[in-house]
């Protein structure tokens, strides 16, 4: 179903935001496990509903809604196997899954089991000439096993569902080497430094929905438990035994929510529709940290959150009802939420919006939100993890450094206040469901919780205690635990076009024959971060580093197209971002680092074998689909160089895009 949601993106993109659509199954909010388990063949039809419907389910009125109507009777055993790997070698991944689906009117049962295994990719596999490259991984080795099940049905006039899942994820990587011995004559032994992070996740959720007069009520509950252990080898002792920084964490979260949606009042222009929610949440987070040479550290944090929320849509004008018809259809949306967060007090969030349709094919909207959020318990109390030999570019010295990176929580974090104003315009649909969309947004974020920006002089001035250098100025350690950034300002305009053109008639219950494409440009007008008061702000569009890919590109262009005809499909996803220049070294006379423009393309081809002339008469072809996907078709990477034309080690292609071009072949069969 996730593939189908992606394919329908041109029809579900809203002019009010870039968020994905709210997903319903038979008119009820889709549980994550049921969404993952159901195959596309179980779908009878799909409804694309307007943003106003999202309000009725407790979401802000800035997302469209996808409602999947399932077949009344359906039984199947979908299976899938996949193999992928980089054309340069490495990045080998094997995956398989199987599910059982049984639909009988309102009763639904699904079971899923999946497994995925990926090999690690080392620096030496990409020709990176750096210290310890044979013993440093660009991508970890991972394995992921999951089982999940759902059961849905009707209890009288009440729709009920329950779902559960258990996931075991393992990750192993190498972070360089340590040597055993004091001199070459003693026979130095190389000891790889290994990091591992196994995680077990259990989840249980249930949902009840019914109707009382004109109101739809709902009750949902979920419980989540995550156990993880992070082991990071930082060196060896005199006997050759590893020195291990080991952290254990256990996170539990439970939530109970009651909601009601329906008309509160009858106004001249229509009904005032509201959604009201009350919820209580419990979170528990316990940690144990055993760093070599230090005593065992244990911590625990318990948080309760009591919340109340109301969304309302207020009609103002309506031509069909004779209320100021010259203005067309005009309505207002109001939202207010109060969260009583333990240790943070009362946090208030509000929003107000206007939705206007002056004519049939013109849609204008404006929304202003003020949202207060507390840092997560993990951001507050995650134990420190010390990872040696982490590669980064030091913009102060203009050199690539291999440092010890410290990650974890920060118990001095404060709440974040995000204020956003947006204006949206959509024109259409015209011939072939063509639609033009534009969305302008201003974001002002105070005390944003984030990681430290890339190391430059201004960042080090703001957080001098977070950086450790030797007497020659070489960077040795970076404390990259969460921080509050004083202020952020981001202004952007996203605009483009969606086109959907049918190609003749389609068979029922199959993907319709069509051509669709979308082309959108995100134009960044401002992107400024003030880390702390009293120091210069970082202008990410004018020389300040944003991430490992340089500064913030002025433009990001996305192009998606899909062609589907009688069981054959072609998908192309292309992206391009503009070049940037970042200052390095002395801030008064910086040496620029040049980051080129980057364009990439991903392609996917698929064939439903039961619909092809060569195989449609073969019994084994029934329910079979063969797919070939190529990621980064042209194997392009960003080109980075300094004023002398030399590429710093930290920006070699293997670091920026380790796998490069990747081929994946998937065979799916529904029994």
Q: Where are the domains of the chain?
A: 1-70
The encoded tokens of residue 366 equal 């404006």
For residue 323, what are the contacts with CB-CB under 8 A and spacing of at least 6?
268, 269, 316, 317
Give dist(CA 290, CA 299) in Å, integer: 12
> Residue 3 is inside which H or E element, if any?
helix 2-7
Buried/exposed code over 375-402 (b: 16+ C-beta within 10 A; e: otherwise): bbbbbbbbbbbbbbbbbbbbbbbbbbbb
pLDDT given for residue 507 in this prediction: 64
pLDDT given for residue 90 in this prediction: 84
The encoded tokens of residue 614 equal 């060569």
Q: β-pairing, 65-70 with 43-49?
A: antiparallel
Buried/exposed code over 318-343 (b: 16+ C-beta within 10 A; e: otherwise): beeeebeeeebbbbbbbbebebebee
Cis peptide bond N-terminal to 429, omega within 30 = yes
Q: Match 């009362």 to its residue by tokens.
A: 346
Residue 588 burial (CB count, 10 A): 7
Burial of 557 (0-12, 13-18, 19+ CB in 10 A): middle
Query: pTM of the full predicted structure?
Result: 0.89
Closest by CA position to 28, among listed 165, 166, 219: 219
Segments of the chain with pLDDT less than 70: 10, 15-18, 58, 60-61, 179-189, 506-511, 586-589
pLDDT given for residue 184 in this prediction: 45
The encoded tokens of residue 345 equal 């007090």
- The pLDDT tens digits of the residues spanning 12-40 come to 777 666 677 888 888 888 788 888 888 88
Give CA separation, 568 vs 322, 512, 612, 632, in Å. 50, 11, 8, 22
| DSSP annotation string for 589-617 | SPEEEEE--EEEEEEEEEEEGGGSTTTTT
Specify whether the CB–CB gap between 227 and 194 falls below 8 A: no
> Residue 11 is inside which H or E element, if any?
helix 9-12
């Amino acid at each position: 179903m996730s593939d189908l949601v992606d394919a329908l993106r041109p029809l579900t993109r809203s002019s009010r935001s870039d968020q994905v659509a709210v997903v319903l199954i038979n008119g009820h909010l889709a549980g994550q496990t049921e969404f993952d388990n159901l195959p596309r063949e179980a779908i009878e039809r799909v409804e694309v509903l307007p943003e106003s419907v999202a309000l009725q389910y407790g979401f802000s009125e800035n997302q469209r809604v996808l409602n999947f109507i399932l077949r009344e009777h359906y039984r199947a055993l979908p299976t899938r196997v996949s193999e992928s790997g980089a054309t340069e070698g490495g990045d080998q991944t094997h995956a398989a899954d199987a599910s059982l689906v049984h639909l009988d009117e309102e009763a639904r049962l699904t079971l899923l089991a999946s497994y995925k295994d990926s090999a690690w990719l080392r620096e030496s596999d990409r020709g990176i000439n750096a210290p310890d490259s044979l013993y440093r991984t660009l991508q970890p080795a991972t394995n992921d096993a999951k089982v999940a099940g759902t059961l849905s049905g009707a209890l009288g006039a009440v729709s009920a569902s329950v779902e559960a899942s258990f996931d075991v994820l393992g990750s192993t990587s190498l972070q360089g080497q340590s040597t055993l011995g004091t001199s070459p004559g003693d026979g130095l032994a190389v000891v790889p430094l290994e990091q591992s992070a196994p995680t077990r996740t259990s989840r249980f959720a249930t949902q009840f929905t019914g109707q009382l007069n004109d109101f739809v009520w709902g009750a949902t509950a979920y419980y989540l438990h995550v156990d993880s252990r992070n082991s990071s080898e930082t060196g060896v002792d005199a006997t050759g035994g590893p020195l291990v920084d080991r952290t254990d964490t256990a996170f539990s979260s439970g939530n109970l929510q009651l909601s009601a949606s329906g008309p509160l009042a009858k106004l001249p222009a229509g009904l005032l529709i509201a959604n009201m929610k009350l919820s209580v949440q419990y979170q528990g987070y316990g940690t144990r940290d055993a760093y070599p040479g230090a005593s065992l550290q244990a911590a625990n944090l318990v948080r309760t959150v009591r919340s109340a929320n109301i969304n309302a849509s207020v009609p103002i004008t309506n031509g069909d009802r004779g209320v100021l018809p010259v203005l067309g259809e005009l309505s207002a949306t109001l939202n207010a939420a109060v969260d009583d967060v333990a240790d943070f007090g009362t946090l208030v969030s509000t929003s107000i919006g206007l939705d206007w349709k002056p004519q049939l094919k013109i849609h204008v909207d404006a929304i202003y939100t003020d949202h207060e959020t507390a840092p997560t318990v993990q951001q507050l109390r995650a134990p420190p993890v010390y990872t040696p030999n982490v590669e980064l570019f030091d913009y102060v010295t203009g050199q690539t450094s291999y440092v010890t990176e410290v990650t974890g929580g920060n118990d001095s974090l404060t709440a974040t206040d995000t204020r956003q104003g947006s204006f949206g315009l959509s024109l259409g649909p015209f011939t072939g469901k063509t639609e033009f969309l534009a969305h302008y947004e201003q974001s002002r974020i105070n005390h944003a919780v984030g990681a430290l920006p890339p190391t430059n002089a201004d960042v080090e001035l703001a957080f001098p205690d977070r950086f450790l250098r030797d007497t020659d100025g070489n960077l040795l350690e970076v404390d990259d635990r969460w921080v509050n950034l004083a202020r952020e300002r981001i202004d952007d305009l996203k605009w483009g076009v969606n086109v959907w053109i049918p190609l003749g008639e389609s068979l029922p219950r199959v993907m319709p024959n069509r051509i669709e494409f979308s082309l959108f440009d995100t134009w960044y007008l401002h992107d400024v971060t003030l880390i702390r008061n009293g120091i210069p702000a970082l202008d990410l569009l004018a020389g300040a580093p944003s991430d490992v890919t340089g500064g913030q590109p002025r433009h990001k262009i996305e192009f998606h197209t899909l062609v589907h005809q009688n069981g054959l499909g072609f998908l192309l996803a292309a992206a391009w971002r503009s070049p940037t220049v970042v200052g390095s070294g002395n801030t008064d006379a910086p040496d620029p680092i040049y980051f080129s423009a980057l364009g990439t393309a991903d392609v996917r081809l698929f064939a439903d074998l039961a619909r092809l002339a060569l195989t449609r008469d073969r019994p084994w072809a029934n329910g079979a689909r063969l797919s070939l996907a190529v990621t980064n078709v042209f194997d392009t990477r960003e080109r980075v160089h300094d004023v002398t034309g030399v590429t710093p080690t930290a920006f070699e292609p293997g670091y920026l895009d380790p796998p490069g071009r990747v081929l994946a072949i998937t065979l799916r069969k529904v029994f």
